[in-house]
Amino acid sequence: MSTILIDICNEVRDYLSGLTLSQGFTAERVWVPLVTQITAEAGYLVYVAPTEREITPGTRGPDANEHEIKIGVFRKVGGTESQQNSAIDEAFILSQEVGEALSKQAFTIDSQESSVLSVKFEPAFDEALLKEDRIFAAMIKVTIGDIR
Annotated domain spans of the chain: 4-43+53-146
- Model pTM score: 0.85
Per-residue pLDDT of the chain (148 residues; tens, 9 = 90+): 358 888 899 999 999 999 999 999 989 998 877 777 788 888 899 999 988 665 555 555 544 678 899 999 999 998 899 999 999 999 999 999 999 999 988 888 878 888 899 999 988 889 999 999 999 999 999 999 875 5
**How far is CA 36 from each of CA 19, 32, 44, 84, rounded to the nearest angstrom?**
26, 12, 13, 17
